[in-house]
Amino acid sequence: MTILLGSIADDYTGASDLANTLTKNGLRTVQTVGIPDPSLALPDVDAVVVSLKIRSVAAKDAVAAALEAESWLRGRGAGHVLYKICSTFDSTDLGNIGPVTEALLSASGGDIALVTPAFPETGRTVYLGHLFVNGQPLDESPLKDHPLNPMRDANLARVLTRQSRGKVGLVDLPTVTDGADAVRARLDRLRAEGAAAAIADAVFERDLETLGKTALEMPVSTGASGLGLGLARALLRSGRASASDGENEAIRPVGGLAAVVAGSCSAATLKQLDTAERHMPVLRLDTEKLLAGSDEISAAIAWAGERIGEGPVAIAASAAPEVVSRLQARYGREASGHAVETATAAIAGELVERGVRRLVVAGGETSGATVDRLGIPAFLIGPEIAPGVPLLRTIGTGGNDMLLALKSGNFGGEDFFATALSMMR
């Protein structure tokens, strides 16, 4: 296997988002769950996205995992590695965006990395180094209240500086608008000033194309799926990759039962659950009982067992922000999140044991815990269900193929669950 582009994603839903973007823009792409076992036969592809769970772990652990993935990708020919982060720059003052970016630069021999979470298609733009979500500064948007990494500062240069050893510069929008030569010249000036990272503005898709073209000339970049779009188009225009137009194996039917499991507490997921109640039975777990040790999992499986033979069911540990805040104050932020992840993954695992082969999972941490529980090593990338969310088909599951959708909490329209299940056969 020789690949052109490698990526290290800091969570599983973000990996799917990026793999979807690369596939839409012509690259044959596979998403792996961690570094694949040597015995796993992967198809010939242009790009591999290695899914990790390093967004909210200790910085030293994130760095170690990322470096191992980087070595594996370089060993398979990747000339450029994109560190895929969340488009809301989810992080803390300790990391992990800065530490991982600097470690990847050091390992690759690079001296500066372009950094941008911009993805205009999903409403994320960067202007003068500040991140906007649908026109609102990040720290004034609903996305500021992430349950694990709340974001209270829209100034990305300031955020990244707090978690980096090196200086952080800015490639502003006028420079990006002037094209790749202007961006290169600006990066040269920042290098001379000692910067190791440069926040890049991007408001339109054409800005991402400029940044992708420039980033591809360097060994490492850091960004959301929008930067992946720019990198993919740059590879195609360079002639190093040919647009894929073959039949997508991922859409072959698998049959079996269907279910939704949700752990996200985002406003988007809460609305999607309300809408889902018009199409399927929805069980809302009592999160406080779950945290207190009550046997909500067995009760949920029994509930599903009585209904799933008639059609899809949804089980959710999602709660309104005020409930989440109250529970975090009582049980602790990390303990609360871990309990929800563990419970939803356990429920998903039990449903699969009972014949579910078409599964939609909402929430980044929930998706990661579920995929690990199911022991899925890799995915083929299918058609897009909603921006940032592709249909996924398992690879290496011993003939027991499944179709999945791993949805970041904020993604998708109100009818996302019904739409996703309608695409799974």
DSSP letters, 202-216, are: B-SHHHHHHHHHHHT
- Encoding tokens for residue 421? 């299940």
- The secondary structure of 329-387 as a DSSP string is HHH-HHHHHHHHHHHHHHHHHHHHHTTEEEEEEESHHHHHHHHHHHT--EEEEEEEEET
Q: For the chain, which residues score pLDDT lower than 70?
A: 1, 147-148, 244-248
What is the helix, strand, coil percentage profile of the chain, to 5?
45, 20, 35
* Per-residue model confidence (pLDDT) at position 327: 86
**Strands 282-284, 378-386: pairing kind:** unpaired
* Per-residue model confidence (pLDDT) at position 232: 97
* Per-residue model confidence (pLDDT) at position 293: 76
DSSP label of 94: T
* Per-residue model confidence (pLDDT) at position 1: 66
* Per-residue model confidence (pLDDT) at position 196: 97
- Encoding tokens for residue 293? 């040790």
* Per-residue model confidence (pLDDT) at position 323: 85
